[in-house]
A and B are shown apart, each in its own frame.
Chain A
Amino acid sequence: MTSITVPKVKKTKAQVSELRQKRRAELWRRIKRNKMIYLMILPGIVYFLIFRYLPMYGLIISFQDYKPYLGITGSDWVGFAHFERLFTSPEFWTIFRNTLMLFGLQIFVYFPIPIIISLMLNEVRHTFFKRGIQTLIYVPHFMSWVVIVSISFVMLTLDGGIVNSLLEVLGLDKINFLMNADWFRPIYILQVIWREAGWGTIVFLAAITAVDPQLYEAAKIDGANRFKQMWHVTLPSIRSVIIVLLILKIGNVLELGFEHVYLLLNASNRNVGEIFDTYVYVAGLQQGQFSYSAAVGFFKGIVGLIMVVVANRLAKAFNEEGIY
């Protein structure tokens, strides 16, 4: 390939600096014109700096032996001692396993449910019925975890809970759901499904409305019945939305709902229910090991960040729009 070389016009130093000055003046003019806008943003930015970024700076206490009366500047440095303690403690693997288990339940048990429900809702032809079901299944999303867990508690409790009364009527043995560690994970994921599955359909339903109706016509001519249309037309059409949401979910691997798990924990299920967040709470605020628990939180945060970045890369590799 031949290229035509354009003789470069050498600018003199004076010209360059003049150009720079002009640019700077222009930039300054644009900033000044919007000074009121900067004033508007200021309170919000100050909030983020104090309550979001200052805690990030505060993470340096995880490399210290932080003493509240000495403060960050006065406390001794201990290097990676707290991280070493975390990785060598037997609790680490318990917490790691518990976190992984709940995450697995979220991905393999919870995640498909909103997709299935939205496929079913899409097949409903009576708008009134569809709206009615939607209204009902969105409700639990607006309830606090305290309410969700409280309702489960009164229904599952051994003395007088409706579920155990039912078991008794059926001639079965009563089950102590709340104090039995084996029931922790089923209860956790059932509550997640109850609260979020209905609300989770919204994004899939929206994606389904974009499906080309001609595809159904073509499928029908090929002799596809309703179920096959759902399976071979609707589902593949929302594939990209499913992938993006799955990746988002994977990115949130460690956000299993501190409040939810904390409310479910009791002395008898702690060995299956303790996750990183609840461990941080107990070690930090109940036992006062600020530095150690900050280190645990730091580790969790870094893993979470890596997962989000990797998940986003994956989304882009799948030719899907990333999340940021």
Chain B
Amino acid sequence: MQKKARKGRMSLGSKVFDSVNYTLLALIGLITILPFIHVVGSSFATSAEIASTQFLLFPTKFTLDAYRFIFSTNTIFRALGVSVFITVAGTVWSMFFSILTAYGLSRKDLVGRRALNFLIVFTMLFNGGMIPTFLVVQQTGLLNTLWALIIPVTVNAFNMIILRSFFMNLPQGLEESAKIDGATDFGILFRIVIPVSLPSIATISLFYAVTYWNTYMHAILYLSDSNKWPVQVLLRQIVVLASGFSYDGTSYTDVPPPEVTVKMATIVVATVPVLLVYPFLQKYFAKGALLGSVKG
């Protein structure tokens, strides 16, 4: 509408405005993305080029040495395995609990609905904090198991509320007609509500999946065994503490690639899964984020 209204002959001022605006936006976009290109580019560079070139976005000679090196260790496979496990298992687990809770609380005829809602919303305003939560995780025997990265964050109140408002916006007649046909509440949920809400369910699943893939804090809080570290913790070890891959005990027989390219390659490996789902994420996420930011 507004676009149409402004069409027609453009004044000089308008043209200047446009060119400044487009240039600035292009710059913002470029600055946002350049660090990623730098990292990807460097991860494929040869040691000679790393040593000689001052500025590096695209290497002139590609090499996979850094990747061959990190994939010659068990460490990366173990860390990726852990991350894949907590992402897949965690997302399924969280969605199971979130859908059941969100659907139940979306039913307007439920006695005590407001109180139960408040019980959940209050946890967004106040929490016991790190130490008491740690003690609960310890008491429940989850410490140093991969489930410590999943069970303590089973339902994200925010995600549950988004899901609940999706369910609440479904047409009422849908459930009522099913009820008349004698469907049970579980039948209605699994045969009617879930199938018509698949886009929203996909959105929230992706929210959970990205959160689980990016898990770092809980891993360093609850896991002391380095064999159970997810890829984010490994990345931290390699980039900042410059440890992680033990140079001995690998099947890599050539001269090890420069440390820089190994770091870059590890960043890429930890990021690629998110970038692969990003095109799907983007479509659904804006919608979910919008709902999430208005409802509280």
Contact = CB atoms under 8 A, between A and B. Distances in A.
B14 A225 contact: yes
B55 A162 contact: yes
A150 B260 CA distance: 12
B270 A147 contact: yes
Interface string A164-202: 011011000000000000000000000000100011001
Given A30-B109, A146-B216, A258-B217, A213 B271 contact: no
A124 B221 CA distance: 46
Interface in A113-152: 117, 120-121, 123-125, 129, 132-133, 135-140, 142-147, 149-152
A144 to B, nearest CB: 3
Contacts of B213: 144
B294 A155 contact: no
A43 B100 contact: yes
Contacts of A308: 125
Interface of B is mostly: helix
B68 interface: no
A37 B123 CA distance: 22
Interface of B: 1-3, 5-6, 11, 13-14, 17-18, 21-22, 24-26, 28-30, 32-33, 35-36, 38-39, 42, 50, 54-56, 97-98, 100-101, 103-105, 107, 109-111, 116, 119-121, 123, 125-137, 140, 151-155, 160, 184-186, 189, 210, 213-214, 216-217, 221, 232-233, 235-236, 239-240, 260, 263-264, 267, 270-271, 274-275, 278, 281-282, 285-286, 289-290, 293-294, 296
Interface of A: 27, 30-31, 34, 36-38, 40-41, 43-45, 47-48, 50-59, 61, 117, 120-121, 123-125, 129, 132-133, 135-140, 142-147, 149-155, 160, 162, 165-166, 168-169, 194, 198-199, 202-203, 206, 211, 213, 216-217, 220, 225-227, 245, 248, 258-259, 262-263, 277, 280-281, 284-285, 290, 293-294, 297-298, 300-302, 304-305, 308-309, 323-324
20 contacts: A34-B110, A37-B185, A41-B100, A41-B105, A43-B100, A51-B154, A55-B136, A142-B210, A142-B278, A145-B216, A147-B214, A194-B32, A194-B35, A227-B17, A263-B216, A285-B130, A294-B132, A301-B128, A323-B296, A324-B296
Closest 3 A-B residue pairs measured CB to CB?
A55-B128, A44-B101, A297-B129
